[in-house]
Structure 1
Amino acid sequence: MQAIKTKISEGGRVVIPSEYRKQLGLEVGDEVIISLVNGEVRIFTLDVAIKRSQEIVRRYIPEGRSLSDELVAERRQESLRE
């Protein structure tokens, strides 16, 4: 998609063009993540943020392993010892 020129309004507000919002599936009131990377402001959806986080964790945790199941099992063992 081609870059679009826009202005910063009062309070630092920037309008995300409608075609961008449509492609991202954004509606009024949705939350987004904004980051500053190498002098660029990047805006992405919470779904994208979660997917990126999962990809990072997946590098260290093999497919099929459930950390939440392991945590529950550990807690059950601890409660039996008490």
Structure 2
Amino acid sequence: MEIIKSKIDQAGRILIPSSYRHSLHLMPGQNVILRAEEGELRIQSFKESASYARSLVKKYNPDNKDLVELLFQARKEDTSRD
């Protein structure tokens, strides 16, 4: 993607050019995730962020076990030991 210069206005807002918004499927009013990384500001949609999080979880949970149920069981075991 091309590099486009933008400006921060008095309210601290940055205009995201329409070509970027369209290619990234960002819509007005949509919530995004902002992350400062290595001197860069990264913007990611909630959908992309959730997809990335799921891929990380899948890496450590390849059998797709119900992690909430496993947490409940662990808590139950902890309380029964006390």
**TM-score, normalised with respect to structure 2:** 0.77
Identity %: 35
Report how far residue 68 of structure 1 moved. Answer: 4.3
Asked if residue 20 in structure 1 is aligned to residue 58 in structure 2, the reply is no
Which 5+ residue runs of structure 2 have no aligned equivalent? 77-82
Q: Does 1:3 align with 2:3?
A: yes
Q: How many residues align?
A: 77
Matched, 1:31 2:31: yes
Cα deviation, 1:33-79, whole Å, max 9, x if unaligned, reads 1100011000010011101111111111014433346568x5xx9xx
Gaps of 5+ in 1: 78-82
- Compute the RMSD of aligned alpha carbons: 2.2
Q: Deviating runs (4+, > 6 A) in structure 1?
A: none
Compare the two structures and name the one with the higher strand fraction: 1
Moved more, 10-19 or 63-72: 63-72
Q: Where do residues 44-55 of structure 1 align in structure 2 (5 Å cutoff)? A: 44-55=44-55
